[in-house]
Amino acid sequence: MIFDFQTFLPAQFHGSPFGTDDLLYLADEASVDRMVVMPAITSRPDNASLAASIRSTDRLVGCAAVNPASGKTAVDELEESIQLGLRGLRLSPATHQFEIDDATVDPLMEIALRQNIPVTTESCSQHCSPIQVANLADRFPDVNIIADVGFRPVAPPVSLGQPEPPAGRIADQALDRPNLFLGLTALATAETYLIKRILDTISVDRLVFGSNAPTSIPCFSIGGVRQANLGEEAEALFLGNTLSGIYNLI
């Protein structure tokens, strides 16, 4: 199974209406079986509209996006989104300008723990450095967290002689935290050296594939993973088997 951990459903894309049929077209083009889909990350993501849009297909797995700075409103919105059938939580600290390891996140994480849903967060950026993401994983060791490493995380080839980033590498933080997974999308999956550099630190069952569709094209992201020549079993884990377990869809 090919299972994409991160796609979005904006109302418009490049000035034209965009809907579930358009997202599924991209999935079919790349032979993607299932996609986790999130609402457009705005100041108030529209989770209810997302749930209504994907209700007719089990290929799209809904993930609610909320801003913990909203306090009880965020808690209520997440609980309502779960009741509507959404099966994950997306946090966007860089976009919504909050610290990922701040205590304001805890009420949402407690819901994720109680409902046994995974949490996806931005990482490797301001407000969500690798150490901050690790702090959150330590506070909630029974919640599976996917750290979206972004378009091109800092992990240059050793041959370039560049120093370690001051905030540490996200793969180093994931090494001793079995609930922390790395989500690779877009340019990250297209750069074979980056995949192999990460795999020098952690095992392939800690990586999950994503496309960031519609901003990026799933078939290109999958092609990058396959160029890494990881082997059939490892590639299957990376492209979907691990994510299926995280979302309890095995």
What per-residue confidence (pLDDT) applies to 149?
A: 87
User: What is the radius of gyration, based on Cα positions, of the chain?
Assistant: 17
Whole-number Å distance between alpha carbons of 58 and 102: 34
The beta strand positions in 57-176, using DSSP E, are: 60-62, 64-65, 89-91, 119-122, 145-148
Going across the sheet that includes 60-62, the strands are: 3-9, 34-39, 60-62
What pLDDT, on a 0 to 100 scale, did the predictor assign at position 250? 79
Cα distance between residue 24 and residue 6, in whole Å: 13
Q: For each of the chain's 250 residues, which pLDDT tens digit applies?
A: 999 999 999 999 999 999 999 999 999 999 999 999 999 999 899 999 999 999 999 999 999 999 999 999 999 999 999 999 999 999 999 999 999 999 999 999 999 999 999 999 999 888 999 999 999 999 999 999 999 986 544 444 444 455 555 456 899 999 999 999 999 987 778 778 888 888 999 999 999 999 999 999 999 889 989 999 999 999 999 999 999 999 999 7
Is residue 119 a contact partner of residue 94, using CB atoms and an 8 Å limit? no
Reported pTM:
0.93
Of the candidates 119, 112, 186, the one whose C-alpha atom is nearest the C-alpha of residue 149 is 186
Which pLDDT belongs to residue 158? 46
| Joined tokens for residue 70 | 């909203």
What domains are there in the chain, each with its CATH number?
A: 3-246 (3.20.20.140)
Residue 21 tokens read as 């049929």
What is the pLDDT, as a whole number, of residue 168? 64
